[in-house]
Amino acid sequence: MKTRKSPFYVRRIIFTGLTLALSACTSQTVKMIQPQTGATAECSGSSVGFGQLFTESFTDSCTRVYENRGYVALERLTPEERASLERRGLLPKD
């Protein structure tokens, strides 16, 4: 009798573990700005479960594309770039 229930409990533990792992969600957003023109772009991604690596990879590749076009992440603006954008009224409001 003990051997019949044992596989059931193992399956139940595995199922519970997988359910908990898949129920987690993640999202990532990077706001970009072109310092000369003030044009903005947003790279974002979200996923459920084990997809965190895919979300980061997607967001990073999107960010690289915009960086190649001269965009900079808002967090990485230099003080001079930030001041210039504020003077011209091009810095987006959060």
- Spell out the alpha helix ranges (H) of 24-78: 52-68
Q: What's the pLDDT tens digit per position in 39-94?
A: 999 999 887 766 677 788 889 999 999 999 999 999 999 999 999 999 999 887 76
CA 86 from centre of chain: 27
- Pick the residue with more confidence: 51 or 12? 12
Query: What pLDDT does residue 60 have?
Result: 93
Measured from the Cβ of residue 22, the count of other Cβ atoms closer than 10 Å reads: 12
Q: Over 60: is that where the pLDDT of 22 sits? A: no
Q: Over 50: is that where the pLDDT of 1 sits? A: no
Query: What pLDDT does residue 17 have?
Result: 65
